[in-house]
Structure 1
Amino acid sequence: MVRLVFIDMDDTFVGPDKTIPRDNLRILDVAAERGVQFVPCTGRSLRGVPRELVTHPSVRYAVCGGGALVYDVRSGEIIREVPIAKELVRSLYEDVRDQRVTFDLFTPEGVFASREHLPLYNQIEMTEATRRMVVSQRTFVDCDTEELIERTPTICRVNVLFGDERGRRVTWDAVEARPELFCASSIPMNVEVTSVEATKGTALVWLCERLGVDVADTVAFGDSGNDVAMLDVAGDAVAMENASPEVKAHARHVAPRCELAGVARYLEPLLV
Protein backbone atom coordinates (compact mmCIF):
# COMPACT_ATOMS: atom_id res chain seq x y z
CA MET A 1 0.00 0.00 0.00
CA VAL A 2 1.49 3.35 -1.07
CA ARG A 3 1.36 6.02 1.65
CA LEU A 4 4.22 8.39 0.83
CA VAL A 5 5.64 9.31 -2.58
CA PHE A 6 9.06 10.99 -2.55
CA ILE A 7 9.70 12.86 -5.79
CA ASP A 8 12.84 14.51 -7.04
CA MET A 9 12.13 17.74 -8.92
CA ASP A 10 14.43 18.47 -11.86
CA ASP A 11 14.26 15.95 -14.70
CA THR A 12 11.93 13.75 -12.63
CA PHE A 13 8.69 15.53 -11.72
CA VAL A 14 9.70 18.70 -13.58
CA GLY A 15 10.66 18.57 -17.26
CA PRO A 16 13.88 19.87 -18.84
CA ASP A 17 12.15 23.19 -19.56
CA LYS A 18 11.44 23.54 -15.80
CA THR A 19 7.68 23.17 -16.23
CA ILE A 20 5.52 20.41 -14.72
CA PRO A 21 3.73 18.13 -17.20
CA ARG A 22 -0.04 18.42 -16.89
CA ASP A 23 -0.52 14.74 -16.03
CA ASN A 24 1.92 15.05 -13.13
CA LEU A 25 -0.25 17.82 -11.69
CA ARG A 26 -3.33 15.68 -12.20
CA ILE A 27 -1.81 12.74 -10.28
CA LEU A 28 -1.46 15.06 -7.27
CA ASP A 29 -5.24 15.40 -7.23
CA VAL A 30 -5.63 11.63 -7.39
CA ALA A 31 -3.17 11.21 -4.50
CA ALA A 32 -5.08 13.72 -2.37
CA GLU A 33 -8.32 11.82 -2.99
CA ARG A 34 -6.65 8.56 -1.92
CA GLY A 35 -4.97 10.00 1.17
CA VAL A 36 -1.48 9.55 -0.29
CA GLN A 37 1.10 12.23 0.51
CA PHE A 38 3.60 13.55 -2.02
CA VAL A 39 6.93 14.74 -0.62
CA PRO A 40 9.07 16.93 -2.89
CA CYS A 41 12.61 15.70 -2.28
CA THR A 42 15.05 18.06 -3.91
CA GLY A 43 18.38 19.76 -3.86
CA ARG A 44 16.53 23.05 -4.26
CA SER A 45 15.67 25.39 -1.43
CA LEU A 46 12.04 25.61 -0.34
CA ARG A 47 11.79 28.81 -2.37
CA GLY A 48 12.63 26.74 -5.44
CA VAL A 49 9.89 24.13 -4.97
CA PRO A 50 7.10 24.89 -7.46
CA ARG A 51 4.11 26.64 -5.94
CA GLU A 52 1.80 24.08 -7.54
CA LEU A 53 3.30 21.53 -5.15
CA VAL A 54 3.73 23.62 -2.01
CA THR A 55 0.07 24.68 -2.05
CA HIS A 56 -1.42 21.31 -3.04
CA PRO A 57 -3.48 19.32 -0.48
CA SER A 58 -1.41 16.19 -1.16
CA VAL A 59 1.80 17.94 -0.03
CA ARG A 60 2.49 18.55 3.66
CA TYR A 61 6.26 18.08 3.86
CA ALA A 62 9.23 18.92 1.65
CA VAL A 63 12.80 17.66 1.80
CA CYS A 64 15.18 20.40 0.62
CA GLY A 65 18.89 20.99 0.30
CA GLY A 66 19.47 17.37 -0.72
CA GLY A 67 18.19 16.11 2.64
CA ALA A 68 19.64 18.72 4.99
CA LEU A 69 16.29 20.44 5.64
CA VAL A 70 12.78 19.05 6.08
CA TYR A 71 9.87 21.51 6.13
CA ASP A 72 6.26 21.42 7.13
CA VAL A 73 5.16 23.47 4.13
CA ARG A 74 1.81 24.45 5.66
CA SER A 75 3.29 26.06 8.74
CA GLY A 76 6.67 26.95 7.21
CA GLU A 77 8.36 25.24 10.17
CA ILE A 78 11.69 23.47 9.75
CA ILE A 79 11.20 20.11 11.40
CA ARG A 80 14.65 18.68 10.64
CA GLU A 81 17.90 20.54 10.15
CA VAL A 82 21.33 18.96 9.66
CA PRO A 83 23.99 21.68 9.39
CA ILE A 84 27.61 21.39 8.32
CA ALA A 85 30.16 22.43 10.94
CA LYS A 86 31.45 25.91 10.15
CA GLU A 87 35.09 24.82 10.33
CA LEU A 88 34.43 22.22 7.62
CA VAL A 89 32.90 24.85 5.35
CA ARG A 90 35.89 27.13 5.91
CA SER A 91 38.45 24.43 5.19
CA LEU A 92 36.57 23.23 2.11
CA TYR A 93 36.52 26.74 0.70
CA GLU A 94 40.25 27.10 1.31
CA ASP A 95 40.81 24.02 -0.85
CA VAL A 96 38.71 25.21 -3.80
CA ARG A 97 38.87 29.01 -3.70
CA ASP A 98 41.54 29.28 -6.42
CA GLN A 99 39.46 27.27 -8.92
CA ARG A 100 36.84 28.55 -11.38
CA VAL A 101 33.99 27.56 -9.09
CA THR A 102 31.08 29.12 -7.25
CA PHE A 103 30.52 28.46 -3.55
CA ASP A 104 26.82 28.76 -2.74
CA LEU A 105 25.59 28.49 0.85
CA PHE A 106 22.22 26.80 1.46
CA THR A 107 20.72 27.94 4.75
CA PRO A 108 17.32 27.73 6.47
CA GLU A 109 16.70 31.29 5.22
CA GLY A 110 17.61 30.66 1.57
CA VAL A 111 20.61 30.34 -0.75
CA PHE A 112 23.36 32.95 -0.59
CA ALA A 113 26.36 33.56 -2.83
CA SER A 114 28.98 36.25 -3.18
CA ARG A 115 28.30 38.71 -5.97
CA GLU A 116 31.93 38.28 -7.04
CA HIS A 117 30.94 34.93 -8.56
CA LEU A 118 27.97 36.25 -10.53
CA PRO A 119 29.81 36.43 -13.91
CA LEU A 120 30.76 32.77 -13.58
CA TYR A 121 27.11 31.67 -13.63
CA ASN A 122 26.90 32.99 -17.19
CA GLN A 123 30.08 31.20 -18.25
CA ILE A 124 29.40 27.72 -16.89
CA GLU A 125 27.90 25.36 -19.47
CA MET A 126 24.24 24.58 -18.69
CA THR A 127 20.88 24.96 -20.39
CA GLU A 128 19.38 28.43 -20.29
CA ALA A 129 16.38 27.08 -18.36
CA THR A 130 18.74 25.68 -15.71
CA ARG A 131 20.75 28.91 -15.62
CA ARG A 132 17.65 31.02 -15.04
CA MET A 133 16.48 28.69 -12.29
CA VAL A 134 19.87 28.60 -10.54
CA VAL A 135 20.36 32.37 -10.59
CA SER A 136 16.76 33.12 -9.56
CA GLN A 137 17.06 30.96 -6.44
CA ARG A 138 20.15 32.72 -5.11
CA THR A 139 20.55 35.94 -3.16
CA PHE A 140 23.81 37.61 -4.17
CA VAL A 141 25.59 39.42 -1.37
CA ASP A 142 28.09 42.29 -1.62
CA CYS A 143 30.96 40.63 0.23
CA ASP A 144 33.54 38.00 -0.56
CA THR A 145 32.85 34.31 0.09
CA GLU A 146 35.13 34.18 3.11
CA GLU A 147 33.16 36.93 4.83
CA LEU A 148 29.85 35.40 3.73
CA ILE A 149 30.78 32.12 5.42
CA GLU A 150 31.56 33.94 8.66
CA ARG A 151 28.33 35.95 8.53
CA THR A 152 26.11 32.92 7.94
CA PRO A 153 25.01 31.30 11.23
CA THR A 154 23.80 27.96 9.84
CA ILE A 155 25.00 26.33 6.63
CA CYS A 156 23.19 23.16 5.67
CA ARG A 157 24.61 22.60 2.21
CA VAL A 158 27.28 23.95 -0.08
CA ASN A 159 26.70 23.92 -3.81
CA VAL A 160 29.73 24.23 -6.07
CA LEU A 161 29.27 24.92 -9.77
CA PHE A 162 32.50 24.48 -11.69
CA GLY A 163 33.67 26.08 -14.89
CA ASP A 164 36.18 23.45 -15.95
CA GLU A 165 37.29 19.88 -15.34
CA ARG A 166 40.04 20.88 -12.93
CA GLY A 167 37.52 22.67 -10.73
CA ARG A 168 35.34 19.56 -10.68
CA ARG A 169 38.22 17.27 -9.79
CA VAL A 170 39.64 19.51 -7.06
CA THR A 171 36.19 19.93 -5.48
CA TRP A 172 35.34 16.22 -5.49
CA ASP A 173 38.76 15.35 -4.05
CA ALA A 174 38.40 17.98 -1.32
CA VAL A 175 35.00 16.67 -0.25
CA GLU A 176 36.01 13.02 -0.36
CA ALA A 177 39.01 13.81 1.86
CA ARG A 178 36.56 14.78 4.60
CA PRO A 179 34.61 11.75 5.89
CA GLU A 180 32.16 14.04 7.73
CA LEU A 181 30.85 15.25 4.36
CA PHE A 182 28.68 13.67 1.67
CA CYS A 183 28.78 14.74 -1.96
CA ALA A 184 26.46 14.08 -4.86
CA SER A 185 25.48 15.74 -8.11
CA SER A 186 22.17 16.50 -9.81
CA ILE A 187 23.49 18.19 -12.94
CA PRO A 188 26.80 17.64 -14.77
CA MET A 189 28.44 20.87 -13.66
CA ASN A 190 27.84 20.81 -9.91
CA VAL A 191 28.81 19.18 -6.65
CA GLU A 192 26.33 19.24 -3.76
CA VAL A 193 27.91 18.97 -0.32
CA THR A 194 26.04 18.12 2.89
CA SER A 195 26.78 16.49 6.20
CA VAL A 196 27.18 12.75 5.82
CA GLU A 197 24.02 12.49 7.95
CA ALA A 198 22.00 14.57 5.47
CA THR A 199 21.00 12.75 2.30
CA LYS A 200 17.67 12.26 0.61
CA GLY A 201 17.78 8.71 1.97
CA THR A 202 18.29 9.69 5.60
CA ALA A 203 15.53 12.29 5.26
CA LEU A 204 13.13 9.70 3.83
CA VAL A 205 13.74 7.31 6.71
CA TRP A 206 13.49 10.12 9.29
CA LEU A 207 10.18 11.40 7.95
CA CYS A 208 8.72 7.89 7.84
CA GLU A 209 9.67 7.39 11.48
CA ARG A 210 8.13 10.73 12.44
CA LEU A 211 4.86 9.93 10.67
CA GLY A 212 4.72 6.27 11.71
CA VAL A 213 4.85 5.08 8.10
CA ASP A 214 6.58 1.84 7.16
CA VAL A 215 9.37 2.55 4.67
CA ALA A 216 8.00 -0.38 2.67
CA ASP A 217 4.95 1.81 1.94
CA THR A 218 6.98 4.46 0.12
CA VAL A 219 7.77 5.05 -3.53
CA ALA A 220 10.70 7.23 -4.59
CA PHE A 221 11.40 8.69 -8.03
CA GLY A 222 14.74 10.07 -9.20
CA ASP A 223 17.12 10.54 -12.09
CA SER A 224 20.51 11.65 -10.82
CA GLY A 225 23.31 10.93 -8.40
CA ASN A 226 21.79 12.83 -5.50
CA ASP A 227 18.74 10.51 -5.69
CA VAL A 228 20.65 7.26 -5.20
CA ALA A 229 20.56 7.32 -1.37
CA MET A 230 16.78 7.76 -1.54
CA LEU A 231 16.31 4.99 -4.11
CA ASP A 232 18.40 2.65 -1.97
CA VAL A 233 16.04 2.85 1.02
CA ALA A 234 12.57 3.37 -0.50
CA GLY A 235 10.02 0.58 -0.56
CA ASP A 236 9.79 0.95 -4.34
CA ALA A 237 12.66 2.69 -6.13
CA VAL A 238 11.83 4.12 -9.55
CA ALA A 239 14.34 5.70 -11.92
CA MET A 240 13.25 7.80 -14.86
CA GLU A 241 13.99 6.60 -18.37
CA ASN A 242 16.19 9.70 -18.77
CA ALA A 243 18.29 8.71 -15.73
CA SER A 244 21.88 7.58 -16.12
CA PRO A 245 22.67 3.84 -16.18
CA GLU A 246 24.33 4.23 -12.77
CA VAL A 247 21.12 5.57 -11.22
CA LYS A 248 18.97 2.95 -12.94
CA ALA A 249 21.16 0.28 -11.34
CA HIS A 250 19.79 1.40 -7.94
CA ALA A 251 16.13 1.22 -9.01
CA ARG A 252 13.64 -1.63 -9.08
CA HIS A 253 11.62 -0.09 -11.88
CA VAL A 254 11.99 2.47 -14.66
CA ALA A 255 9.31 5.06 -15.43
CA PRO A 256 8.88 6.89 -18.75
CA ARG A 257 10.86 10.07 -19.34
CA CYS A 258 10.21 13.14 -17.20
CA GLU A 259 8.80 15.23 -20.04
CA LEU A 260 6.28 12.43 -20.74
CA ALA A 261 4.91 12.67 -17.18
CA GLY A 262 6.62 9.43 -16.23
CA VAL A 263 5.77 9.90 -12.54
CA ALA A 264 2.05 10.04 -13.29
CA ARG A 265 2.17 7.18 -15.76
CA TYR A 266 3.90 4.95 -13.23
CA LEU A 267 1.69 5.89 -10.27
CA GLU A 268 -1.70 5.87 -11.95
CA PRO A 269 -2.17 2.07 -11.84
CA LEU A 270 -1.15 2.10 -8.16
CA LEU A 271 -3.48 4.91 -7.10
CA VAL A 272 -6.53 4.61 -9.33
Structure 2
Amino acid sequence: MGKIIFLDVDGTLVDYENHLPESAVLAVGKARENGHRVYICTGRSKAEVYENIWEIGLDGMIGGNGSYVEDHGHVVMHQMITPEQCRHIVDWLKERGLEFYLESNAGLFASAGFEEAGDPVIQEYSRRKGKEGADKIKVRDAFPEMIFEGELYRDDVNKVSFILNQYQDYKDAVVEFPDLQAGTWGGAGEIALFGDLGVKNITKGNAIAHLLEYLHADVADTIAFGDAKVDIPMLEYCGYGVAMGSGGDEIKAMADYVTGDVDKNGLYDAFEKLGLL
Protein backbone atom coordinates (compact mmCIF):
# COMPACT_ATOMS: atom_id res chain seq x y z
CA MET A 1 0.00 0.00 0.00
CA GLY A 2 1.25 3.48 -0.88
CA LYS A 3 0.33 6.69 0.89
CA ILE A 4 -3.18 7.31 2.23
CA ILE A 5 -4.31 10.81 1.31
CA PHE A 6 -7.12 12.72 3.01
CA LEU A 7 -8.61 15.74 1.27
CA ASP A 8 -10.94 18.27 2.78
CA VAL A 9 -13.49 19.29 0.14
CA ASP A 10 -14.54 22.95 0.39
CA GLY A 11 -11.53 25.20 -0.12
CA THR A 12 -9.23 22.23 -0.73
CA LEU A 13 -10.59 19.98 -3.46
CA VAL A 14 -13.20 22.44 -4.76
CA ASP A 15 -13.35 26.20 -4.46
CA TYR A 16 -16.06 28.02 -2.52
CA GLU A 17 -18.25 28.20 -5.61
CA ASN A 18 -18.16 24.39 -5.92
CA HIS A 19 -15.83 24.46 -8.94
CA LEU A 20 -13.59 21.41 -9.20
CA PRO A 21 -10.29 22.35 -10.91
CA GLU A 22 -9.14 20.02 -13.67
CA SER A 23 -5.66 20.03 -12.11
CA ALA A 24 -7.11 18.56 -8.90
CA VAL A 25 -8.89 15.82 -10.87
CA LEU A 26 -5.62 15.03 -12.65
CA ALA A 27 -3.68 14.93 -9.38
CA VAL A 28 -6.07 12.49 -7.73
CA GLY A 29 -6.17 10.24 -10.79
CA LYS A 30 -2.38 10.08 -11.13
CA ALA A 31 -1.88 9.45 -7.42
CA ARG A 32 -4.29 6.52 -7.45
CA GLU A 33 -2.64 5.12 -10.59
CA ASN A 34 0.60 5.16 -8.59
CA GLY A 35 -0.93 3.00 -5.87
CA HIS A 36 -1.94 5.66 -3.36
CA ARG A 37 -5.37 5.74 -1.73
CA VAL A 38 -7.42 8.95 -1.76
CA TYR A 39 -10.31 9.76 0.59
CA ILE A 40 -12.24 12.95 1.06
CA CYS A 41 -12.46 14.06 4.69
CA THR A 42 -15.15 16.71 4.90
CA GLY A 43 -17.80 18.43 6.95
CA ARG A 44 -20.26 17.47 4.23
CA SER A 45 -22.58 14.55 4.70
CA LYS A 46 -22.75 11.95 1.94
CA ALA A 47 -25.78 13.62 0.37
CA GLU A 48 -23.61 16.68 -0.33
CA VAL A 49 -20.92 14.70 -2.13
CA TYR A 50 -22.19 15.10 -5.66
CA GLU A 51 -21.45 12.84 -8.61
CA ASN A 52 -18.75 15.10 -10.07
CA ILE A 53 -16.67 14.50 -6.92
CA TRP A 54 -17.12 10.72 -6.91
CA GLU A 55 -16.30 10.60 -10.61
CA ILE A 56 -12.71 11.74 -10.05
CA GLY A 57 -12.03 8.37 -8.42
CA LEU A 58 -12.02 8.01 -4.64
CA ASP A 59 -11.42 5.11 -2.29
CA GLY A 60 -14.02 6.39 0.15
CA MET A 61 -14.97 9.25 2.41
CA ILE A 62 -15.09 10.63 5.91
CA GLY A 63 -18.14 12.86 6.32
CA GLY A 64 -19.88 14.99 8.93
CA ASN A 65 -16.49 16.19 10.23
CA GLY A 66 -15.78 12.63 11.35
CA SER A 67 -19.15 11.06 12.15
CA TYR A 68 -19.20 8.85 9.04
CA VAL A 69 -16.45 6.65 7.56
CA GLU A 70 -16.76 4.68 4.31
CA ASP A 71 -14.25 2.57 2.38
CA HIS A 72 -15.21 1.35 -1.12
CA GLY A 73 -18.91 1.43 -0.20
CA HIS A 74 -18.43 -0.32 3.15
CA VAL A 75 -19.55 1.70 6.18
CA VAL A 76 -16.72 1.51 8.70
CA MET A 77 -18.31 3.84 11.27
CA HIS A 78 -21.45 5.99 11.50
CA GLN A 79 -22.32 7.92 14.65
CA MET A 80 -25.51 9.99 14.51
CA ILE A 81 -27.45 12.41 16.65
CA THR A 82 -30.25 10.52 18.41
CA PRO A 83 -33.90 11.24 17.49
CA GLU A 84 -34.38 12.79 20.94
CA GLN A 85 -31.38 15.08 20.47
CA CYS A 86 -32.62 16.06 17.01
CA ARG A 87 -36.06 17.01 18.36
CA HIS A 88 -34.44 19.05 21.13
CA ILE A 89 -32.22 20.91 18.63
CA VAL A 90 -35.07 21.64 16.21
CA ASP A 91 -37.40 22.89 18.94
CA TRP A 92 -34.70 25.06 20.55
CA LEU A 93 -33.64 26.65 17.27
CA LYS A 94 -37.26 27.37 16.33
CA GLU A 95 -37.90 28.97 19.73
CA ARG A 96 -34.91 31.28 19.23
CA GLY A 97 -35.90 32.15 15.67
CA LEU A 98 -32.69 30.66 14.22
CA GLU A 99 -32.82 29.19 10.72
CA PHE A 100 -30.98 25.92 10.18
CA TYR A 101 -30.50 22.78 8.14
CA LEU A 102 -30.12 19.16 9.16
CA GLU A 103 -27.26 17.24 7.54
CA SER A 104 -27.90 13.56 6.88
CA ASN A 105 -26.69 11.04 4.32
CA ALA A 106 -30.23 11.11 2.90
CA GLY A 107 -30.11 14.84 2.19
CA LEU A 108 -29.96 18.36 3.62
CA PHE A 109 -33.24 19.36 5.25
CA ALA A 110 -33.76 23.10 5.72
CA SER A 111 -36.00 25.02 8.09
CA ALA A 112 -38.84 27.04 6.59
CA GLY A 113 -36.98 30.35 6.51
CA PHE A 114 -33.47 29.13 5.79
CA GLU A 115 -33.36 30.14 2.13
CA GLU A 116 -34.41 33.74 2.73
CA ALA A 117 -32.20 34.17 5.79
CA GLY A 118 -29.33 32.23 4.25
CA ASP A 119 -28.80 34.10 0.98
CA PRO A 120 -27.02 37.13 2.53
CA VAL A 121 -25.05 34.86 4.88
CA ILE A 122 -23.80 32.66 2.01
CA GLN A 123 -22.86 35.82 0.12
CA GLU A 124 -20.86 37.14 3.07
CA TYR A 125 -19.16 33.75 3.42
CA SER A 126 -18.15 33.92 -0.27
CA ARG A 127 -16.94 37.52 0.06
CA ARG A 128 -14.65 36.55 2.90
CA LYS A 129 -13.13 33.90 0.65
CA GLY A 130 -12.43 36.59 -1.95
CA LYS A 131 -14.64 35.10 -4.62
CA GLU A 132 -15.80 37.15 -7.60
CA GLY A 133 -19.56 37.52 -7.95
CA ALA A 134 -20.12 36.73 -4.28
CA ASP A 135 -23.12 39.05 -4.14
CA LYS A 136 -24.95 36.87 -6.65
CA ILE A 137 -24.45 33.51 -4.91
CA LYS A 138 -27.62 32.05 -3.43
CA VAL A 139 -28.38 29.23 -1.00
CA ARG A 140 -29.56 27.13 -3.95
CA ASP A 141 -26.16 27.63 -5.63
CA ALA A 142 -24.26 26.56 -2.53
CA PHE A 143 -26.64 23.68 -1.74
CA PRO A 144 -28.15 22.62 -5.09
CA GLU A 145 -29.99 19.58 -3.73
CA MET A 146 -31.20 21.04 -0.43
CA ILE A 147 -34.70 19.91 0.60
CA PHE A 148 -36.90 22.77 1.82
CA GLU A 149 -40.11 21.04 2.93
CA GLY A 150 -38.80 17.83 4.45
CA GLU A 151 -39.37 16.23 7.84
CA LEU A 152 -37.24 17.87 10.54
CA TYR A 153 -37.73 15.40 13.38
CA ARG A 154 -35.33 12.74 12.09
CA ASP A 155 -33.35 9.68 13.14
CA ASP A 156 -30.58 9.93 10.50
CA VAL A 157 -28.88 13.25 11.30
CA ASN A 158 -25.09 13.59 11.37
CA LYS A 159 -25.02 17.23 12.43
CA VAL A 160 -26.99 20.47 12.33
CA SER A 161 -25.83 23.87 11.07
CA PHE A 162 -27.64 27.07 12.03
CA ILE A 163 -27.29 30.75 11.16
CA LEU A 164 -25.95 32.83 14.03
CA ASN A 165 -27.93 36.00 14.62
CA GLN A 166 -25.26 36.84 17.19
CA TYR A 167 -22.28 35.05 18.73
CA GLN A 168 -24.26 34.58 21.93
CA ASP A 169 -26.38 32.02 20.06
CA TYR A 170 -23.32 29.75 19.87
CA LYS A 171 -22.46 30.31 23.54
CA ASP A 172 -26.02 29.46 24.56
CA ALA A 173 -25.95 26.33 22.39
CA VAL A 174 -22.87 25.13 24.30
CA VAL A 175 -24.84 25.42 27.55
CA GLU A 176 -28.09 24.02 26.15
CA PHE A 177 -26.51 20.94 24.58
CA PRO A 178 -23.76 19.60 26.87
CA ASP A 179 -24.33 16.15 25.34
CA LEU A 180 -23.35 17.40 21.87
CA GLN A 181 -20.29 18.99 20.25
CA ALA A 182 -20.97 22.66 19.51
CA GLY A 183 -18.87 24.58 17.02
CA THR A 184 -18.87 27.50 14.60
CA TRP A 185 -17.84 28.00 10.99
CA GLY A 186 -17.63 30.76 8.41
CA GLY A 187 -15.30 32.89 10.54
CA ALA A 188 -13.45 32.84 13.84
CA GLY A 189 -14.96 33.91 17.17
CA GLU A 190 -17.33 36.86 17.08
CA ILE A 191 -17.42 37.01 13.27
CA ALA A 192 -18.55 33.38 12.81
CA LEU A 193 -21.56 33.06 10.50
CA PHE A 194 -22.84 29.61 11.46
CA GLY A 195 -23.04 27.45 14.54
CA ASP A 196 -23.23 23.69 14.38
CA LEU A 197 -24.09 20.78 16.64
CA GLY A 198 -22.83 17.23 16.21
CA VAL A 199 -21.93 14.04 18.03
CA LYS A 200 -19.69 14.58 21.05
CA ASN A 201 -15.95 13.96 20.71
CA ILE A 202 -16.09 13.56 16.92
CA THR A 203 -13.20 14.95 14.87
CA LYS A 204 -11.69 14.26 11.49
CA GLY A 205 -8.59 12.90 13.23
CA ASN A 206 -10.62 10.45 15.29
CA ALA A 207 -12.38 9.20 12.15
CA ILE A 208 -9.06 8.68 10.35
CA ALA A 209 -7.91 6.54 13.27
CA HIS A 210 -10.98 4.30 12.84
CA LEU A 211 -10.30 3.96 9.11
CA LEU A 212 -6.63 3.14 9.59
CA GLU A 213 -7.55 0.44 12.11
CA TYR A 214 -9.94 -1.05 9.56
CA LEU A 215 -7.28 -0.89 6.81
CA HIS A 216 -4.50 -2.18 9.11
CA ALA A 217 -2.53 0.86 7.95
CA ASP A 218 0.15 3.00 9.59
CA VAL A 219 -0.47 6.65 10.42
CA ALA A 220 3.08 7.39 9.22
CA ASP A 221 1.83 6.75 5.67
CA THR A 222 -0.92 9.39 5.81
CA ILE A 223 -1.05 12.87 4.28
CA ALA A 224 -3.83 15.36 5.05
CA PHE A 225 -4.86 18.45 3.10
CA GLY A 226 -7.09 21.18 4.53
CA ASP A 227 -7.80 24.88 4.76
CA ALA A 228 -9.82 25.53 7.94
CA LYS A 229 -9.65 25.28 11.70
CA VAL A 230 -11.83 22.16 11.66
CA ASP A 231 -9.12 20.47 9.56
CA ILE A 232 -6.40 21.00 12.17
CA PRO A 233 -7.11 17.73 14.07
CA MET A 234 -6.56 15.69 10.92
CA LEU A 235 -3.35 17.53 10.03
CA GLU A 236 -2.15 17.01 13.60
CA TYR A 237 -3.02 13.31 13.50
CA CYS A 238 -1.64 12.44 10.08
CA GLY A 239 1.99 11.82 9.23
CA TYR A 240 2.20 14.96 7.08
CA GLY A 241 -0.08 17.97 6.85
CA VAL A 242 -0.61 20.40 3.96
CA ALA A 243 -2.52 23.68 4.25
CA MET A 244 -4.02 25.43 1.24
CA GLY A 245 -2.81 28.93 0.45
CA SER A 246 -6.32 30.32 0.89
CA GLY A 247 -6.57 28.71 4.33
CA GLY A 248 -6.72 30.39 7.71
CA ASP A 249 -3.68 31.58 9.62
CA GLU A 250 -4.04 28.89 12.31
CA ILE A 251 -3.87 25.92 9.99
CA LYS A 252 -1.08 27.44 7.88
CA ALA A 253 0.99 28.03 11.03
CA MET A 254 0.82 24.38 12.12
CA ALA A 255 1.06 22.69 8.69
CA ASP A 256 4.21 20.96 7.46
CA TYR A 257 3.76 22.66 4.10
CA VAL A 258 1.61 25.44 2.62
CA THR A 259 0.67 25.05 -1.04
CA GLY A 260 -1.21 27.39 -3.39
CA ASP A 261 -4.93 28.13 -3.54
CA VAL A 262 -7.31 25.43 -4.71
CA ASP A 263 -8.10 27.35 -7.90
CA LYS A 264 -4.41 27.98 -8.64
CA ASN A 265 -3.34 24.33 -8.96
CA GLY A 266 -2.50 24.16 -5.26
CA LEU A 267 -3.47 20.51 -4.89
CA TYR A 268 -1.59 19.37 -8.00
CA ASP A 269 1.55 21.31 -7.03
CA ALA A 270 1.58 19.74 -3.55
CA PHE A 271 1.01 16.22 -4.93
CA GLU A 272 3.95 16.79 -7.28
CA LYS A 273 6.20 18.13 -4.50
CA LEU A 274 5.41 15.13 -2.29
CA GLY A 275 6.20 12.62 -5.05
CA LEU A 276 2.65 11.30 -5.32
CA LEU A 277 2.51 11.73 -9.10
TM-score, scaled to structure 2: 0.83
Q: Any idea what SS the aligned residue of 2:254 has?
A: coil
Counterpart of 1:97 in 2: which secondary structure?
helix
Cα distance, 1:232 vs. partner? 1.8
Q: Secondary structure at the match of 2:65?
A: helix
Paired AA for residue 139 in structure 1:
I
How far is 1:87 from its partner? 3.3
Q: Per the alignment, in what secondary structure is the counterpart of residue 106 of structure 1?
A: strand
The aligned residue for residue 61 of structure 1 is 60
Aligned residues of 2:170 and 2:183 also touching (Cα < 8 A):
no
Residue range with higher mean Cα deviation, 126-135 or 43-52:
126-135
1:246 to 246, 250, 262: 250
Moved more, 87-96 or 185-194: 87-96
Which letter does structure 2 place at the counterpart of 1:241? G
Q: Could you tell me which of 137, 141, 144 is aligned with 2:149?
A: 141
Aligned partner of 1:266 among 251, 264, 270: 270
1:35 is matched with which residue?
Answer: 35
1:271 to 1:120, Cα distance in 2 relative to 1, 3 A:
same
Residue 187 of structure 1: how far off its partner (Å): 2.4
Q: Distance in 2 between matches of 1:43 and 1:216?
A: 24
Look up the match of 1:3. Answer: 3
Counterpart position of 1:160: 162
Q: Residues 36 and 190 (structure 1 numbering): CA distance in 2 closer, same or farther, change over 3 Å?
A: same
Deviation by residue 1:165-200 (Cα, 9 ceiling, x = unmatched): x2x431244136644322344423222321123221
Are the equivalent residues in 2 in contact too, given 1:121–1:131 (CA < 8 A)?
A: yes
Residue identity over aligned pairs, in percent, reads 27
Equivalent position to 1:131, from 126, 135, 139: 139
Larger deviation, residues 42-51 vs 197-206: 42-51
What per-residue deviation string (whole Å, max 9, x for no partner) do you get for residues 178-224 of structure 1? 44322344423222321123221111111111111111111111111
Asked if the contact 1:223–1:247 (Cα under 8 Å) also holds between the matched residues in 2, the reply is yes
Q: Which runs of 5+ in 2 are unaligned?
A: 127-135, 188-192
1:182 is matched with 181
Given that 1:8 and 1:222 are in contact with CA atoms closer than 8 Å, whether structure 2 keeps it comes out as: yes
Q: Give how far 1:2 is off.
A: 5.3
C-alpha contact 2:47 2:105 (8 A) present in aligned 1: no
Q: Mean alpha-carbon deviation: is it higher for 4-13 or for 238-247?
A: 238-247
CA distance in 2, matches of 1:65, 1:78: 14
CA–CA separation in structure 2 for the residues paired with 1:113 and 1:35: 40
Greater shift, 169-178 or 62-71, is seen at 169-178
1:232 paired to 2:236: yes
Moved more, 29-38 or 101-110: 101-110
Contact 2:99–2:113, Cα closer than 8 Å, also in 1: no
Match among 185, 192, 199 for residue 196 of structure 2: 192
Runs of 4+ deviating beyond 6 Å: none
**What is the CA-CA distance between 1:100 and the residue it aligns to?**
4.9
Partner of 2:16, secondary structure, is coil
1:33-85 deviations in Å (ceiling 9; x for gaps): 1111111111122232243431344x12111122112234x54x533211123
CA gap of 1:160–1:18, structure 2 versus 1, over 3 A, is same
Give unmatched runs, 5+ long, in structure 1: none
Rounded to whole Å, the distance in 2 between the matches of 1:13 and 1:179 is 33
Secondary structure of the corresponding residue to residue 13 of structure 2: coil
Are the structure 2 counterparts of residues 177 and 47 from structure 1 closer, same or farther at C-alpha, using a change threshold of 3 Å?
A: closer
TM-score by length of 1: 0.84
Q: 1:81 to 1:24 in 2, by over 3 A?
A: same
Matched, 1:113 2:110: yes
Q: Partners of 1:173 and 1:199 in 2: how far apart?
A: 22
> Compared with structure 1, are the counterparts of its residues 130 and 15 closer, same or farther at alpha carbon in structure 2 (3 Å cutoff)?
farther
- Could you say what the CA RMSD is over the residues aligned between the two structures, in angstroms? 2.5
Decide which of 80, 98, 101 is 1:101's aligned counterpart. 98
